[in-house]
Amino acid sequence: MEYSNGYTFIIDIPKFIGQNSEGNLLSLNVGNSFSGSSNSDFRKALLGTIGEGMERQILYDSNVENKLNLNCINLFTKKIESIPVNQHTKKFFFDTCGLATHLSTSNALENALGEFIERQSFIFTYLSKRKVKKVIKNNFFKEIIPDFLHDLKFYEISLISSYKVFFSIGLLNTSIVIGLGAGYTDEEALSKLAKEISSFSPHGSIKAIDGERYDYIHLFHMLPIENIIRAYQFLETSINIYEPKKEKVPKQDEVLDELNRLWGMEPMCTALMNDHYNTSRYTYSKNIKVFDLTWFPSLNLPTFTDEIYDSVETKGNCILDRSANFIPFP
């Protein structure tokens, strides 16, 4: 089998809801992989597209399901562990949740841990229907979030106080907009959220090409807008408020300690690669996956077992909605 270092780019100027005009779609020739990114800066959009494409390709190429054991580092205990690859383990490599690619190992780890916290906070909030905090749109908020997004609803949904996760939902130009942003500070998390929702494609505009398998984003764009809004109405019952502010950056160990103390988490990280790593297009990239076998494996709810639900309910002291089969999220 030949391994090509070439990419096929589709350079487009789509009609985004927000103000980021340049967009790049990257088509990879492995596993029907598709990735895209947008930014007002063309170079950043291009790099974002390549990074996202690498994440998807390495996930397909790593062949975790064919391994007997997986070597990992327990980020909480700082110990190396060997995890047996079984049906339960494989569920955690279904999608790119908690996966990040970067030229720097430390940056890849930071990004992967951040996405892990973001997704665990989001999935737990959705399935537990817990009370979260409504964001007050103060001057600090308005300095970060563009004016045209101020009519959206914003919530702080993080499981911990040392790492922020913001969720936003609302209508813009009759189209539904949903986004997540996470970071060590309010400023970092809100900035990421603003970038994500500014480049949000109009609902219904992303469709599967004939013969292409349906991805999560295709299913989201097929849902009626009123169904999506109804799915998140539970957030309206939240009475607590959150006022964004300038704050110091906590250390990674503080975040890991709080995850363990409050939720019993011991995130694991592993490097993803395959037998052809040195000749593949991601030779110089660092590909890190962060996960916790006792928490949620992905956004794919139908793969969740009673073991997963029981574990999270015990650690979260809650009752989860086991009847849900899809989380409306792009």
pLDDT (tens digit, 9 = 90+) per residue, 89-120?
Answer: 999 988 878 888 878 889 999 999 999 999 99
Give residue for tokens 């927000």: 18
Structure tokens at 251: 């250390």
pLDDT at 196: 87
Gap between the Cα atoms of 267 and 27, Å rounded: 32
pLDDT at 35: 55
What backbone torsions phi and psi does residue 72 show, to the nearest 5 degrees?
Answer: -135, 165
pLDDT at 287: 87
Gap between the Cα atoms of 54 and 165, Å rounded: 25
pLDDT at 94: 82
pLDDT at 207: 78
pLDDT at 83: 95
Name residues of the chain where pLDDT drops below 70: 1-63, 210-213, 274-284
pLDDT at 266: 98
**Strand residues in the chain grouped as ranges (E):** 8-12, 23-27, 34-38, 69-74, 79-84, 99-102, 133-135, 153-156, 164-172, 175-183, 240-242, 268-271, 286-291
pLDDT at 276: 52
pLDDT at 15: 44
The pTM for the full model equals 0.86
